[in-house]
Amino acid sequence: MSEHTAQLSSRDGRWLLYVVLIGVPVSQWPAHNFGTGVTPTPAERSRALTDLGFVFIDGAEWAWEECSEKPDGDSSPVRLLASVQVCSRDGGLS
């Protein structure tokens, strides 16, 4: 079973969920665009991951962190980034 990191990020008010696949071009990573609005709920994120062919690793929980758009910039806008460990629904590589 291969583990991957799923990430949820917001830019310009749009929420995007994607699964990082090492060795695969970013343009080919599975992704779901939630559009604008409130932060997607855990249930909405879970459904989107299932639709993309992934499930949570046992015991995995979302972890949130702040990322400055300009490193070391105290007044730089902050982006929120959430991560969780997932695997392919069928247990293979995705």
Is pLDDT of 75 > 60?
A: yes
Per the CB < 8 A criterion, the answer to whether 47 and 78 are in contact is no
Say if residue 59 is exposed, middle or buried (CB neighbours under 10 Å; 0-12, 13-18, 19+): exposed
Is pLDDT of 83 > 90?
A: yes
Give the tens place of pLDDT for each residue, 28-49: 999 999 988 888 999 999 999 9
pTM confidence score: 0.85
